[in-house]
Amino acid sequence: MATTSRKRPARSAKNTEELLGYYRQMLLVRRFEERTAQAYTEAKIGGYCHLNLGEEATVVGLMAAIEERDYLFTNYRDHGYALIRGMDPGRVMAELYGRQDGVSRGWGGSMHLFDTDVRQLGGYGIVGGQLPLAAGAALAVSYRDGDEVVMCQMGDGTTNIGAFHETLNIATLWDLPIVFVVVNNHLGMGTTVEMSSAEPELYKRAASYRMESARVDGNDVVAVRDAAKIAVERARKEQKPYLLETVSGRLRGHSVVDPAAYRSKEEVEAVRAQDPVAGLHDQLIAAKAADADQLAEVDADVHRIVKAAVEFAEKSPAPEVSSLFDYTYASPVPNDSRRLPADPLFPVGA
C-alpha cells in the first residue's frame, strides 16, 4: 500500500503566479519565525517556543491541499500553519507575547494556537495528544455524513507514541476521513529517527493498519501539495484514512533555546544546503518566473507584514491578573475557587 513520491521540479505548478504565491507564503513563515526567535531572546516571548524554520515548503504545500471547510490539528510546532491557514499575523504574534489580542487571548502561547474561524483546532503541547482528538473530529464528520476532511500533523517522534498506533488502528476500523501527516525532520528532539525507530521510513508503518501511505520530499512545495491532495481526496471521497510522510530538515534546534550541539558541522551544512526557501528562490530565477528585484520586493513586503505584527503585539495589553481563572471551565461549576495565590484562605476578620 505504501508508495514513495519522487521530487518534482517547482515548474510543475500551474502557473507563475501560483509559484510566486507559494514563495511569498514560505517567506512569510521564514521571516515571522526569525523575528519570533529574536523576540524570544529579548525576553518578550516566554515559555516553550518551537519554530518551523526549514519546514516552510511542507507547511505551505499541506495548507494548499486542504479547503476552508476542512479541519487542522497540529503539534506544538504550529506558527507557520496558523499563518498560512489564515490567522492574522498580528494576533498570532500577540498570542506568542501572551497578550489579550492573541488568537487565544494570550492564554495559549506558542504551542496552543487555536482559531475556530479558520478551523485550526490546536496546537498541542503533549506529544501525540492531538491524534485521538483529531480522530474524534473525523468521527463527528463521518457521523454527520459531512464531506470535510481532518488533517492531523505530527513530528517523527510521535510515531513511537501509543496514541499514534491506537489512533491509526481505529481510523481504519471506522473508515474515518482523516489524513495523518508525519513531518520527518530526522530528529525527535535530539535523537535521530534511525536511532529511535526500527523502521525509519515512517510511512511504511501504515501497512500495519491496511492504510494507504506515501513519502514525499518535504523541501518541494509542489510535490508536498500534490501528494497531500491525493491523500485528502481519498479521505474525502472514499472516507478512508491516509498517512503521508514529508521529509525535510530542521534549520534550528528542537526549540529556540536548543543549541543543537548534537549535530556535526557537516550535518548542519547539509541541512542548510537543502533550504526550501532559498531553493525555490533560485528555481524561480532559473525558470525566469521572476527576477532578483521582484523577489527582493516580495521580501520587503513580507518584512513590513512581520514588523506590523510585532508592533501590534507590543501594543496589545497583557491579561489582567483578575482574569487568571476565567477559562478554567467552559461552564460554571460548584465551589469553583477564584482565590489568587497571594489571597488569604479566609476573609480578614472572619
For residue 19, name the pLDDT band (cuts at 50, 70, 90): very high
pTM: 0.90
Share of the chain above pLDDT 70, in %: 95
> In which element (H, E) is residue 31 found?
helix 16-41
pLDDT for 346 beyond 80: no
The predicted structure's pLDDT at residue 16: 83
Find cell 529574536 and name the residue: 38
pLDDT for 20 beyond 70: yes
Number of other CB atoms surrounding residue 117 within 10 Å: 11
Number of other CB atoms surrounding residue 201 within 10 Å: 15
CATH number at residue 25: 3.40.50.970
Number of other CB atoms surrounding residue 204 within 10 Å: 16
The amino acid at 332: P
Name 247's bridge partners. Answer: 184, 217
Which cell numbers in the block locate residue 138?
A: 473525523
Q: Is residue 129 part of a domain?
A: yes
183: closest CA among 148, 159, 149, 147? 159
More confident residue, 88 or 332: 88
Number of domains in the chain: 1
Give the domain range for residue 163. Answer: 2-315
What's the mean per-residue pLDDT of the chain?
92
Q: Is residue 334 part of a domain?
A: no
Find cell 495523518 and name the residue: 180
Q: Is residue 328 part of a domain?
A: no
Q: What digits encode the pLDDT tens for the residues 184-240?
A: 999 888 888 999 999 999 999 999 999 999 999 999 999 999 999 999 999 999 999
Q: Are 185 and 156 in contact (CB under 8 A)?
A: yes
Q: What digits encode the pLDDT tens for the residues 243-266?
A: 999 999 999 889 999 889 898 889
Q: Is residue 201 part of a domain?
A: yes
Q: CA–CA separation, 324 vs 100, rounded Å? A: 12
Find the radius of gyration of the CA atoms of the chain. 21
Q: Is residue 57 part of a domain?
A: yes
The predicted structure's pLDDT at residue 322: 82
Opening angle at CA 281, ends 279 and 286, nearest 5? 95
